[in-house]
Structure 1
Amino acid sequence: MRWVAALLLMLAALPAAAAPPLVVTIPYMEREAPHRNYADQLLALALKLSSDRYGPFRIVQQRDETVIRRQLLELGKGSLSVAVAMPTPEWLDGALPVRVPIMRGLASFRYFLGRRSEAPLYDSIKTVDDLRALTVGQGPGWSTAKILEDNGFKVVYGGAHPTLIPMLGSGRFQLLMRSAYEVEPELRAQRASYPDLMIVDNFAVFTYMPMYFFVAKGQPLLAERLEYGLKKAYANGQLDLLFNRSFGDSLKLLRNRQTRFLSVPNTNIDPGFFERDRPYLLAPVVTLETEARRKR
C-alpha cells in the first residue's frame, strides 16, 4: 500500500484550488434612501473585513424592485441572501437576524411631516395623550404602524410611499411619521409640489427601534460572517466613519432643544433587545430609553 501513501503525499503537495466567492444577493429598491445606501456600503465593508476568516465574496443586486414585505418572502425562498429591516415577530420568525444594530439606534427618533396651515394645532401638543388625538399616516407593512396602533394612536393607512405625501397635503391625515434620516430629504424633495409642507419641530416620538441585517435561514454561516465583520467595523472605527458621513445632517436634528421627545414602547420587541444592543448605540438613544424604562 506504499503507492497509496505516495499518492496522498502527491495530492497534498498540489496547490489548493481557490475557493469560489460567496455570492450575496441583495434587494433592489427604486426609491433612493440614505439608510439603504449606507446599509449596502456597510454590508460590503463587513464582508471585506471578514474575508480573512470566511474567504472571498461577490455582491449581486436583484434586477427587479422588491418592497420590504416581499423581501421577507424572498429570503424564505432563498432567492435573496440579505435584507435590512426592523425586527418584528414576522421577521424574527422568517429570517435570521444579525444581532448588531447597524443604525446605532438612529431610527428610534421618529419625526413628523405636517402642514404649515395646522401649525397652531401642532404647537398645542405637549404629551403622548395630546398626540393620540391626531391622525398619523402610515404605509402598509410598516413596523411603526403596529407600534402606533398598540399605543392607542389613530393610524390612517395609505398605499405605497409615493401616495403618502399627497394624502397629507389633501388632509387625509394630520401627520406623517418619518425617521430622523428620512424627514429632511423628503421635505426637500416635495416642498416645490407641496409648499404647505413642514417638519414639526416642537415634538417627535422616541421608541427604541434597532435595524439589523436579516439573512436567509438557509445561510447561517453568512449571519455568523456578518456579525464577525460588523463587530470588527465597530472596533476599528470604520463603521463610525461611514455612519457619520452618511447621517451627519440627521444627527444635527437630535440637538434641536425645541424638540420634546415623547416616549412610547416598541411593542414589536422585548426589553432584551435594548440591553443586548446597548454597547453599539448612540448616547442619546441609551439616555432616552433608560429614562423611559424608569418611568414605565
Structure 2
Amino acid sequence: MKKHIFTLLRGRTYHGIGLVFILLLWTLNVSAANWSIHYPRPINESDSRHDYPLTLLKLALSKTGVRYTLTPSERILLQGKAIRQLKENREINIVWVMTDIQREKELLPIRIPIHKGLIGWRVFLINQDLSAKFHNIREVRNLTPLTALQGAEWPDTKILQSNGFNVLTVSEFPEAFNRLELKQGDFFPRAVSEVLGELNALSLDDDIVLEPSLVMHYPAAMYFFVNRSNPTMARLIETGLRRALEDGSFDNIFVSHHREALLKVNVAERKVFHLENPLLPKETPLDDKALWFDPQIHTPQSAPNKE
C-alpha cells in the first residue's frame, strides 16, 4: 500500500512538472515567434479613429516582450467587411469593434473594453439648421420620433430600435455625414471617444456641428477580436493589456488620448438619457470597475497613474 501511494504521488509530481514544462515551452515559443498582425486599413490616412486602438495594441504587445509586425490590410475594409474577413481568416487577423452576442459567437473576444465603456456614451452630430429640434427635449420620448442615422451592420442600430428610436441606416460610414448635410436625418449619435477626432479629421460640411446639451448612454464595450482558431494570440494580447492595467500605462494612454474630448463634450453638464442594451453578452465584465470610466463621475485626470 505504501509503495502504491508513493508511486501515485510520484506520478502526480511528474505530471505537475510536465505541465510546468509545457507552459514554459509555450512561453518560450510565443516570445520567440515573430507575430505578423494585420488590421483593417482605415478609410484614409487622416482617419484618426485607428490611432488609439493601435497605440494600445502596441502597448499590450510590448508588455509581453514578443517580436511583431503590425500591418494594415492592402485594401480598405469597412467594419462589416472586416468582420467577415476575420471570421473567414482572410486578409486580417484582428479587429476592434463594439461587442454583441452574435459577434462573440463568430469571433474570439478579448474582454477588456479598450475605450473603458466610452463607446456607449453618445453625443449627437447634427445639421445646425435643425438645431431647434433639440432645444426642448427633456425625456427619451421627445427624442425617439427624430431620425437617427446609423450604420446598417452596427449593433447600435438594433440597440436604438429596441429602445423605440426611428433609425435610418446607411451602408457606408461616410454616407451618414452626407445624409446629415442633406437634412435626411436629424442626428448622428457618435461615441464620446470618437466624435472629436471625426470633427477634426474628416472634411465635414460647416453645417455639421456637435449638439451642445444632450447625451445618451447604454452599456457597451469595444474589444479586440481575433479569429476563433487563434486563442494563442488572444491570450497574448490579453496578457499584455492586463499588465498595462496593473502598472498604470493603460490608463495613462486612455487619459492622454481622451482628455481633450472629455473636456470638450463635458458629459457632466449634459442631460443624460440611459438606454437598455439587449445585445450585451452576459459575459461582459461590468462588475470590474477598473475596466470602466464613467464621465458623469470621473474627470479626465482621475484615472490612476502608477508610473
Give the shorter-chain TM-score range: 0.7 to 0.9
Structure 1 residue corresponding to 2:133, chosen from 89, 101, 121: 121
Matched, 1:230 2:275: no
The one-letter code matched in structure 1 to 2:199 is L
Mapped partners of 2:121, 2:79: distance in 1: 20
Mapped partners of 1:206, 1:62: distance in 2: 33
Relative to structure 1, is the Cα distance of residues 129 and 141 closer, same or farther in structure 2, using a 3 angstrom cutoff? same
Deviation at 1:190, TM superposition (A): 6.3
Deviation at 1:130, TM superposition (A): 0.7
Matched, 1:70 2:70: no
Q: Percent identity?
A: 23
Relative to structure 1, is the Cα distance of residues 129 and 238 closer, same or farther in structure 2, using a 3 angstrom cutoff? same
Mapped partners of 2:297, 2:113: distance in 1: 13
Q: 1:280 maps to which residue?
A: 291
Work out the number of aligned pairs and report it.
268
Please report the TM-score for the alignment, with normalisation by the length of structure 2. 0.80
Relative to structure 1, is the Cα distance of residues 166 and 105 closer, same or farther in structure 2, using a 3 angstrom cutoff? same
Could you say what secondary structure the match of 1:177 adopts? strand
> How do residues 1-296 of structure 1 correspond to structure 2 at under 5 angstroms?
19-31=32-44, 32-51=46-65, 55-79=66-90, 80-188=92-200, 194-253=205-264, 255-270=266-281, 272-284=283-295
- CA deviations 1:192-212 (Å, max 9, x no partner) are x63332211211111111111
Deviation at 1:57, TM superposition (A): 2.6
Mapped partners of 2:289, 2:242: distance in 1: 13
Q: Is 1:138–1:155's contact at 8 Å kept on the other side of the alignment?
A: yes
Relative to structure 1, is the Cα distance of residues 116 and 254 closer, same or farther in structure 2, using a 3 angstrom cutoff? closer
Mapped partners of 1:153, 1:259: distance in 2: 20
Relative to structure 1, is the Cα distance of residues 166 and 153 closer, same or farther in structure 2, using a 3 angstrom cutoff? same
Mapped partners of 2:195, 2:136: distance in 1: 21
Tell me which moved more, 250-259 or 79-88: 250-259
- Runs of 4+ with deviation above 6 angstroms: none
Mapped partners of 1:239, 1:62: distance in 2: 26
- CA deviations 1:237-285 (Å, max 9, x no partner) are 1112222222221121453544111000112114552524432111437
Please report the TM-score for the alignment, with normalisation by the length of structure 1. 0.82
- CA deviations 1:158-214 (Å, max 9, x no partner) are 2312222221122211111111133234334568x6333221121111111111100
The one-letter code matched in structure 1 to 2:60 is A
CA RMSD of aligned residues (A): 2.4
Q: Is 2:181–2:207's contact at 8 Å kept on the other side of the alignment?
A: yes
Which blocks of at least 5 consecutive residues in structure 2 are unaligned? 1-27, 299-307
Q: Is 1:45–1:229's contact at 8 Å kept on the other side of the alignment?
A: yes
- CA deviations 1:209-228 (Å, max 9, x no partner) are 11110011111011111111
The one-letter code matched in structure 2 to 1:224 is R
Q: Is 2:114–2:223's contact at 8 Å kept on the other side of the alignment?
A: yes
The one-letter code matched in structure 1 to 2:34 is P
Deviation at 1:92, TM superposition (A): 0.5
Mapped partners of 2:123, 2:211: distance in 1: 7
Mapped partners of 2:40, 2:290: distance in 1: 29
Q: 1:12 maps to which residue?
A: none
Deviation at 1:72, TM superposition (A): 1.7
